[in-house]
Structure 1
Amino acid sequence: MKSKVEIKAYLQNNDFHKVKLAIVDIDGVLRGKVVSQEKFLSILEGGMGFCAVVFGWDMEDKSYDNVQVTGWHTGYPDFDAYVDHGTMRNIPWENGLPFFLADFSDKEGNGLEVCPRSLLKRIKKQAETAGFLPRFAQEFEWFNFETTPDGFQSGISGNSKPMTPGMFGYSILRSSLKSGFFNDLFDYCQQFDVPLEGLHTETGPGVYEAAIKYGDVLAAADRATLFKTCTKEIAYKHGIMATFMAKWSDDLPGNGGHIHQSLWSKEGKGNLFYKDGQSISETMMQYMAGQLFCLPYILPMVAPTINSYKRLVEGAWAPTTLTWAYDNRTTALRVLQGKESSTRLETRVVGSDVNPYLAMSACLASGLYGIKNKLKLDQPATVGNGYKDFSHGILPSTLQEATTQMKTSGLAKELFGEGFVDHFCNTREWECREFQASVTDWERKRYFEII
């Protein structure tokens, strides 16, 4: 990591006249700007004002009418934001343009309660205080289409042509069909400090899956968030649009955004989830018990959109029940045993449409809750089809149901703070209202002629 002095010298010596900055909003969307080198050096030392509207509107820039943190009632002032100089990287597909992430916080470093990156930093600190080093990674599935934003907006989105045809997961053949995009994605991500452990086709027309290299939980969330945006930008250069919607078509599997996680000892005792033999550690059992207990009350953080719940259906490679198992892809939690370096938990509820900071916050906070309260993993591992194991409950089936459970939950407020929970749940209620007010293609096809 370069110091501020080293960054200043690097920018000046390499004749960079501009720098790109970004923050992440409640939906996980990067919002940012390009500033001059002179302006950036000033920001690096003293911070900057960033318009509060990024927490006052939705992903379509429609102003919320039900949040308190900002709005017409506050006049949409600036919030204080500070560059995290440790996030510096260069954008290889933009001639090496320097890039930085920023957080919303005060001069003392206290994060804005509704800022997703600040939330994860707070929960990471809780883990470290308890003696843990959380190591996380996220993997994404997504669809790729041969279209442009103009073409997509002017046509019927459902008729967009997939980049490659047919159902052909793990296909060496299909990955060679658009090899320019495939190889640029892998290589550019490496150069952008978003290293991939693997990239392959997944089942479905034009579907890829990428596994991002694991690391410190905050760095992992940075990488996951940047991966989604850089994939879209690289795709643009190849005449392709990438979508991380949880469920693109009712005829095809959805897009998972599974999160892999382990806790390591701050005292050098290694992976605390690992245990010799055929079992798993008590720490891992408590962590899993915490997630299973908390999931019904924090589900919107890992399934944040109306569309998320179209993915969480039986037999579609996404879980519907509160279950766990060893190496079983039908359960909510999948235990992966192996060497100390690879023993971990995979939370499979998470979809590709998430804000990675919120999803990782949810996973980590709920796991820590289980450890703190010494919860027992009393329910046995599911054997066979997890979709048919209803013995320990099912997940909420709509965003409205899930949001109501979270908003009225004292547990969610205990984990994330009342200010965050109120704001986030209000934004999810807004999402539900926007959907309810819209007339869908399904309604037109069903009712236009017949009724």
Structure 2
Amino acid sequence: MSGEVRGSAANGARAAMIGVCDFDGVLRGKHVMADDVLDGDKLIKFSEAVLAWDCADQVIPATVTQKPTSAFADADLRILSRTGRPVSPDRRQYLYLAEFVGAHESICPRGVLRKVLRRAADHGYGCTAGFEFEFVLFKETAETIDGKPFDQWTPLTHGPFGYSVARAVAHNELFDEIRVLCKNAGIPLSGLHFETGPGVIEAALRHCDALDAADRAVIFKSMIKSWAQTRGLMATFMAKVSENWPGQSGHIHISMSSGGENLFYDRETNRNVSKAMRQFVGGQLKYMKEFCVLAAPNVNSYKRLRPGYWAPTCPSWGLDNRSCAVRVIPGEPAAHRIEYRLSGADVNPYLALSCAIGSGLLGIEEDVGLTAPVAGDASALNCAAAERLPQDLSEATGRFVQSPEAVDLFGGEFVEAFSSSRRWEWEAVQHRVTDFERQRYFEII
């Protein structure tokens, strides 16, 4: 889309944004002159500090650079010229994605996904994916919520009313803006509707090549948050905004191809589930506990993974069963696919997709078997403690850092760097005294 930027420059928009994804899936970037992004995938210098910051811009002490906080140097950043697109309603603000290369490529989230996809390509497999995100809109701004108790925040709509036609019609102007914004940004949607819960909207991004799908997902999250602010709203992709509301998911639809054919489809088998598909799902389930931190990367993530809210509690799979961690969706070859339901809306799309594809790829390589599908409510299963998904971020991080398969698949440097960031995130929350604790203990204890 670099030609569009050249056109915008002629109309007076002489700068464009570049954005690179940090461990938390947040785009960090700056404005550059349009001429700097017109000549292919050029390299620029960019602070390596973004790979050592947490989501509050605090430096994680045990960073991969092992440098004092005042010694962060510049790293090589490659601007991806083909990713340029307008991301503002007036089409004047352009964004280009970038990725760390050289010494920092091994821990760059986009680089990790490329590593997994290269492994798939070595087997002759192509990967297609599409993300679905649930997010909550509040009639608030950063100023209005400052110091205001959460129970006084005003969501866009009140109470649950999933798939509401009435609400969609009432908010048609808002939905139109989202659809046009995504169309202009080259992020076509296959669905947009109200989900159950106050102010919850779900957007299904149309499937495409796996790396492009993750690029689109990263841009979509940032773009929606920015757009909401222009409307006097705030959008959040937290996995669980309130203990009284359903969580926000970030489901991923995945299919694999080989020789131009759907690798998961076999017309001679029951429900057309191929041997490769069974192996792939088997691998996803086998490594779900070890790799869980990539799909549930925050302390808040584990408050979504509870019974009764259509979120998985243990590795499980089913045929068109939305209560399972992995939902096999049978259909014609063009639609026959997997829905990976472990991930929440708070994920880093590059890392969540690396987890979902990488674990499935290991299943094919290891010829992993598959148990019978779950027919009922998977969250109602009486899972043994050893079979449950990690119960918190600390447990998930411990499993990940000790996994030799994680090191083999994602690289030792990334496993250590990302695990350090998650240990830091866990510790950042543990010493906080919450309002709930004060209400519960202050008088009585």
Q: 1:249 to 1:45 in 2, by over 3 A?
A: closer
Aligned residue in 2 for 1:85: 81
Per-residue CA deviations over 1:392-424 (Å, capped at 9, x if unaligned) read 822111111111111111121111111000010
Distance 1:394 1:29 in 2: 29
Aligned residue in 2 for 1:271: 262
TM-score by length of 1: 0.93
Task: Determine whether 1:76 maps to 2:69.
Answer: no
Q: 1:94 to 1:60 in 2, by over 3 A?
A: farther
Task: Determine whether 1:31 maps to 2:25.
Answer: no
Match of 2:203 among 210, 221, 232: 210
Distance 2:60 2:198 in 1: 36
Task: Determine whether 1:420 maps to 2:417.
Answer: no
Match of 2:286 among 293, 308, 312: 293
Shift of 1:263: 0.1
Q: Is the 8 A contact 2:41 2:80 kept in 1?
A: no
Distance 1:125 1:279 in 2: 27
Distance 1:272 1:298 in 2: 24
Identity of counterpart residues, as a percentage?
38
Aligned residue in 1 for 2:401: 407
Q: 1:45 to 1:394 in 2, by over 3 A?
A: closer
Q: Is the 8 A contact 1:64 1:71 kept in 2?
A: no
Distance 2:42 2:309 in 1: 49
Match of 2:375 among 383, 389, 393: 383
Shift of 1:388: 3.2
Aligned residue in 1 for 2:240: 247
> Post-superposition, which runs of at least 4 consecutive aligned residues in structure 1 deviate over 3 A?
6-16, 38-42
Q: Is the 8 A contact 1:296 1:402 kept in 2?
A: yes
Shift of 1:65: 1.1
Distance 2:126 2:314 in 1: 29
Classify the secondary structure of the residue corresponding to 1:93: coil
Q: Is the 8 A contact 1:181 1:235 kept in 2?
A: no
Classify the secondary structure of the residue corresponding to 2:213: helix
Q: 1:329 to 1:95 in 2, by over 3 A?
A: closer
Distance 2:428 2:214 in 1: 28
Distance 2:421 2:290 in 1: 16
Match of 1:393 among 387, 404, 407: 387
Shift of 1:92: 4.0
Q: Is the 8 A contact 1:143 1:243 kept in 2?
A: yes
Q: 1:399 to 1:148 in 2, by over 3 A?
A: same
Per-residue CA deviations over 1:246-282 (Å, capped at 9, x if unaligned) read 01111111011011101012x22x2111122523001
Distance 2:222 2:425 in 1: 22
Q: Is the 8 A contact 1:164 1:177 kept in 2?
A: no
Distance 1:84 1:46 in 2: 8
Classify the secondary structure of the residue corresponding to 2:134: strand
Q: 1:288 to 1:163 in 2, by over 3 A?
A: same
Aligned residue in 2 for 1:340: 333
RMSD: 1.9
Aligned residue in 1 for 2:123: 130
Map 1:8-19 → 2, pairs under 5 A: 10=7, 13=10, 15-19=12-16
Distance 2:92 2:4 in 1: 14
Q: Is the 8 A contact 1:111 1:119 kept in 2?
A: no
Distance 1:131 1:292 in 2: 23
Aligned residue in 1 for 2:98: 102
Per-residue CA deviations over 1:200-221 (Å, capped at 9, x if unaligned) read 0001111111100000001000
Aligned residue in 2 for 1:66: 62
Match of 1:231 among 209, 218, 224: 224
Shift of 1:149: 1.2
Shift of 1:450: 2.4
Classify the secondary structure of the residue corresponding to 2:299: coil
Classify the secondary structure of the residue corresponding to 2:287: helix
Shift of 1:9: 5.6
Classify the secondary structure of the residue corresponding to 2:296: coil
Classify the secondary structure of the residue corresponding to 2:369: coil
Distance 2:28 2:288 in 1: 29
Task: Determine whether 1:197 maps to 2:190.
Answer: yes
Task: Determine whether 1:434 maps to 2:421.
Answer: no
Distance 1:173 1:272 in 2: 41
Shift of 1:449: 2.5
Shift of 1:127: 1.1
Classify the secondary structure of the residue corresponding to 2:83: strand
**For structure 1, which segment, 413-422 or 62-71, has the greater mean C-alpha deviation from structure 2 after superposition?**
62-71
* Paired letter, 1:37: A
Shift of 1:51: 0.5
Distance 2:186 2:80 in 1: 15
Q: Is the 8 A contact 1:305 1:428 kept in 2?
A: yes
Aligned residue in 2 for 1:47: 43
Task: Determine whether 1:371 maps to 2:368.
Answer: no
Q: Is the 8 A contact 1:103 1:111 kept in 2?
A: no
Unaligned runs of 5+ in 2: none
Q: How many residues align?
A: 441
Classify the secondary structure of the residue corresponding to 1:113: helix
Unaligned runs of 5+ in 1: none
TM-score by length of 2: 0.95
Distance 2:185 2:5 in 1: 20
